[in-house]
Chain A
Amino acid sequence: MEITVTVNGQEHTCEIEPRLLLVHLLRDELGLTGTHWGCDTSNCGACTVWMDQVPVKSCTVLAAMAGGRHVRTVEGLEGPTGLDPLQLSFMSCHGLQCGFCTPGMLLTARWLLDHNPDPSDREIREAISGQTCRCTGYENIVAAIRHAAQQAQQ
Chain B
Amino acid sequence: MTARSEHPTPMGHGRMVRKEDARLIRGRGRFLDDVSLPGMLHGAVLRSPYAHARIRSVDTSAAESHPKVRAVVTGEMLAERGMAWMPTLSHDVAAVLATDKVRYQGQEVAFVVAEDPYAACDALSLIEVEYEPLPPMIDARRALEPGAPLVRDEIPGRTDNHIFDWESGDAAATDAVFAAAEHVSTCELLYPRVHPAPLETCGAVASIDRISGKLTVHATTQAPHAHRALYAMITGIPEHKIQVIASDIGGGFGNKVGMYPGYLCAVLGSMLTGAPVKWTEDRSENLMSTSFARDYHMHGEIAATREGRILGLRVRVLADHGAFNGTAQPSKFPAGFFGVFTGSYDVAAAHCRVTGVYTNKAPGGVAYACSFRITEASYLVERMVDVLAHDLGLDPAQVRMRNLLRPEQFPYRSVTGWEYDSGDYPRTLTLALELAGYDELRREQARRRRAFAETGRGELMGIGISFFTEAVGAGPRATMDIAGFGMADGAELRVHPSGSAVLAVSCMSQGQGHETTFAQIVAHELGISPDDVEVVAGDTDRTPFGLGTYGSRSTPVSGAAAVVAARKVRERARVVAAAMLEVSAEDLVWEKGDQERGRFHVRGDRAAGATMAEIAQAAHADLELPDGVEGHLDATCVYNPPNLTYPFGAYICVADVDPGTGQVTVRRVVAVDDCGVRINPTIVEGQVHGGLADGIGMALMEVMAFDGDGNHLGASFMDYLLPTSMECPSWELGQTVTPSPHHPIGAKGVGESATVGSPAAVVNAVLDAIGVRHADMPLTPAQVWRAVQGRPIRTDVAIGSDNET
Residues of A bordering B, CB below 8 Å? 17, 19-20, 24, 27-28, 32-41, 43-44, 46, 73-75, 77-78, 83, 87, 90-92, 94, 96-103, 106, 121, 124-126, 128-142
Contacts and interface: CB of A to CB of B under 8 A. Distances in A.
B730 A139 contact: yes
B28 A34 contact: yes
A130 B692 CA distance: 19
Contacts of B22: 91
Contacts of B200: 36, 38, 98, 100
B513 interface: yes
Q: Which of B29, B282, B724 has the most CB of A within 10 A?
A: B724
Given A91-B18, A97-B511, A132 B686 contact: no
B118 interface: yes
Given A33-B33, A38-B283, A46-B199, 4 more contacts: A24-B117, A94-B683, A125-B726, A140-B686
Nearest to A17: B118
26 contacts: A27-B33, A33-B34, A37-B33, A38-B250, A39-B716, A41-B716, A43-B717, A43-B718, A78-B26, A90-B21, A90-B25, A91-B18, A92-B17, A94-B686, A97-B690, A98-B511, A99-B24, A103-B27, A106-B25, A125-B725, A128-B724, A134-B198, A134-B690, A135-B686, A138-B728, A140-B689
A119 B331 CA distance: 52
A41 B685 CA distance: 31
B510 interface: yes
Contacts of A36: 31, 33, 199-200, 250
Interface in B683-725: 683, 685-693, 716-718, 722, 724-725
Contacts of A78: 26
Contacts of B24: 96, 99, 102
Given A41-B717, A136-B686, A138-B728, A98 B282 contact: no
Given A38-B283, A132-B724, A98 B27 contact: no
Contacts of B716: 39-41, 43
Interface residues of B, number: 56
B775 interface: no
Interface string B506-519: 00001111000000
A33 B31 CA distance: 9
B717 A141 contact: no
B346 interface: no
Interface in B1-58: 17-18, 20-29, 31, 33-34, 36
B191 interface: no
B336 to A, nearest CB: 22
B283 A41 contact: yes
B92 to A, nearest CB: 29
A100 B220 CA distance: 13
B199 A101 contact: yes
Interface in B720-739: 722, 724-726, 728, 730-731
B249 interface: yes
B376 interface: no
Nearest to B15: A94
B734 to A, nearest CB: 14
B726 A40 contact: no
B211 to A, nearest CB: 28
Contacts of B18: 91, 94
Nearest to B35: A33
B432 interface: no
Contacts of A134: 197-199, 251, 253, 690, 693, 722
B469 to A, nearest CB: 22
